[in-house]
Amino acid sequence: MLDDLRNDKKRLNSLTYHVVNGEYKASDLKNMNFLTSVETDKLSVNTTKSGQVMVGNATVVEPDIIASNSVIHGIDRVLIPSGV
């Protein structure tokens, strides 16, 4: 999949679909219904009965990775905006 992205600039640019303004820890996401990506697309946010956080159809599998300028959440799939 990564090689496909490298060869397809439109899809590579879709990675900004994974970026939102602000810093949200997993505990913050549990109280939200959506996030807005820098692509201005809304990403649904849900919490399952078992407490797992879902962003779109992706499950947060590694929450709260603290970086120097952000908080990163590892997810189990690539989110592709509609129309790409």
pTM score: 0.78
CA-CA distance, 10 to 56, in Å (whole number)? 20
Whether residue 28 is contained in a domain is answered as yes
What is the per-residue pLDDT for 79? 85
CA-CA distance, 3 to 55, in Å (whole number)? 24
CA-CA distance, 47 to 20, in Å (whole number)? 18
Cα angle 34, 73, 27; round to 5: 60
> Is residue 84 over pLDDT 60?
no
Which domain does 44 fall in, by range? 2-75
What is the per-residue pLDDT for 80? 77
CA 77 to chain centre: 9
Give the CATH number of the domain where residue 21 resides: 2.30.180.10
Q: In this predicted model, what pLDDT tens digit does every residue of 27-53 receive, in sequence order?
A: 999 889 999 988 778 899 999 999 999
Whether residue 84 is contained in a domain is answered as no
3-state percent helix, strand, coil for the chain, nearest multiple of 5: 25, 35, 45
Whether residue 15 is contained in a domain is answered as yes
What is the per-residue pLDDT for 46? 95
Whether residue 34 is contained in a domain is answered as yes
Total domains in the fold of the chain: 1
